[in-house]
Amino acid sequence: MTIRALSRLVVPVLACGLVALRPAGDVSCRPNIFGGEDCVDAPGGRVSSSRPNIFGGFDTTLPDGSRASSRPNIFGGKDVSTPRGTIRSRPNIFGGRDYELPDGSRTESRPNIFGGQDLRGQGGMITTCRPNIFGGKDCR
């Protein structure tokens, strides 16, 4: 899984209020016809839909109709503007990314043995993402 593919998942995961990385927050994503991804939760409800934007990032529509937009930053990561504030990322020494959330808390990602990423939030909660058969990823 490339960093670019992971960044498309992290936007909906972090921007949708899954910042606390709730344990029952299973999310599955698959590519869409616009060059982005459509993500759904375990009951089949839409979590997000994304498409590339002119800034080299992605525009993401969240389930409540609000939007998030990302663009590259000078640290080699992305800045994601959400209704709740800006999420900033930068590469870390583990091959993943460190995320600074609008409330000042931090989340980090690291590659895992499944070819995906593990996201570790405040309090040590871990969400594991792995590739799925549709070319997207599943996170639990």
pLDDT digits (tens, 9 = 90+) for 96-137: 999 999 999 999 999 999 999 999 988 888 999 999 998 899
Q: Quick one: pLDDT at residue 18? A: 39
CA 98, 69, 60, 84 torsion: positive or negative? positive
- pLDDT for residue 10 is more than 80: no
Which has the minimum average pLDDT: 31-40, 88-97, 120-129? 120-129
Domain range spanning residue 124?
Answer: 3-139
Radius of gyration (Cα) for the chain, nearest Å? 13
Q: Residue 6 — φ and ψ, nearest 5°?
A: -65, -40
* CB-based contact 12:39 (threshold 8 Å): yes
**pTM (two decimals):** 0.72
Query: DSSP labels for 29-70?
Result: EEE-TTSSEEEEETTS-EEEEEEE-TTSSEEEE-TTS-EEEE
CATH code (residue 74)? 2.40.160
* CB-based contact 50:58 (threshold 8 Å): yes
Q: Indicate the DSSP class of residue 19.
A: G
Q: Quick one: pLDDT at residue 124? A: 85
Share of the chain above pLDDT 90, in %: 66
Count of domains in the chain?
1
Q: Quick one: pLDDT at residue 25? A: 58
Cα distance between residue 21 and residue 9, in whole Å: 13
